[in-house]
Amino acid sequence: MFRHITGKVLLVGAMVAWLGLGSSCVSPKEVIYLQDVQGTTTETLKSNYQTTIQRDDQLAITVSSKQPELTAPFNMTEMSSGGNSTSSNNNQGYLVDANGNIVLPIIGRVRAAGKTCTQLANDIAATLRDSGYLNDASVNVQIRNFKFSVIGEVSSPGVYTIGGQRITILEAISQAGDLTIDGNRTVQVVREVDGNRQIATIDLRSKELFNSPFYYIQQNDVIYVTPSDRKVNTRSDAAQWYGWGLSGVGVTLAIIALAAS
């Protein structure tokens, strides 16, 4: 009879200790990405992905022609230390103003916001041809300050600038050193479009993220990784004492049971 009771006390003690320590355990379902992918999965890439120019973007614009002397006003280079070359605002890029326009030599004010780089390049080339200034103009436009922010539960939160114009949410998170073990795998993306702020929720545990319009990051996006409930709860004094208290009670019961056997 006594041994039977001792066995029950030992079992209860072990269970209580497990509950106390289990409050800090992490389930694989909380942290593993793309959990619904089985074997080899084929996803159709979005061929219509386009980065659009926004206000405050800095654009690098290059104009080419068989008459290079006519393209010089557009392609000024930064002044060197020896003072052998000229300088213009183009060494920092053409800034898209608050109204969504840029100001180019010869042409003047051009609408840029809301267009893709290819569309703006075609518009500039068409304007140069229609004006008779350059009949063979070839124009290239790139965004120089493509940046995004990652904040919250990542290894290296901050603002990141990339050289290209195409980056996925997974690549953006990897730039920030990946999510911490305490970061929710359901993240939020904040985006401003045409004066409106959009907030989307993306579940990194599901392959459905590939179908989201927020899978590809736009410049100035903010990715926010919220802390898990586990971290929030275990960081409170009461929760910490609760967990350790349960563990202590469980260990004590187990010791008593072993001593009495």
| Domain 58-143, architecture per CATH | 2-Layer Sandwich (3.30)
- So what's the pLDDT on residue 37? 74
Cβ(35)–Cβ(29) under 8 Å?
yes
Q: Domain 28-46+146-230 class?
A: alpha beta
- So what's the pLDDT on residue 76? 61
Tokens 């898990």 — which residue? 228
Could you check whether 28-46+146-230 and 58-143 share the same CATH topology?
Answer: no
Domain definitions of the chain by residue range: 2-27+231-260, 28-46+146-230, 58-143
- Beta-sheet pairing, 186-193 with 147-152: unpaired
Tokens 């010791």 — which residue? 255
**31-61 pLDDT per residue, tens:** 687 787 777 766 666 656 788 999 999 999 9
Distance from CA of residue 227 to its chain's centroid? 16
Query: Hey, what are 211's tokens?
Result: 């179908």
- End-to-end, the C-alpha distance of the chain in Å comes to 11
Distance from CA of residue 223 to its chain's centroid? 5
Query: Hey, what are 1's tokens?
Result: 């009879």
Give dist(CA 98, CA 100) in Å, integer: 5
Low-confidence ranges of the chain (pLDDT < 50): 2, 4-5, 9-21, 77-90, 250
**Buried-exposed string 135-164: b where 16+ CB fall within 10 A, e elsewhere:** eebebebbbebbebbbbbbbeebeebebee
- So what's the pLDDT on residue 164? 83
- So what's the pLDDT on residue 10? 44
**161-188 pLDDT per residue, tens:** 998 888 999 999 999 999 999 999 999 9
Query: Long-range contacts of range 178-183, CB-CB < 8 Å, 24 or more positions apart?
Result: 178/154, 179/31, 179/153, 179/154, 179/155, 179/204, 179/225, 180/153, 180/154, 180/155, 181/26, 181/31, 182/153, 182/227, 182/228, 182/230, 182/231, 183/152, 183/153, 183/154, 183/225, 183/226, 183/227, 183/228
Question: What is the dihedral angle through the alpha carbons of 14, 15, 21, 22, rounded to the nearest 10 degrees?
Answer: 150
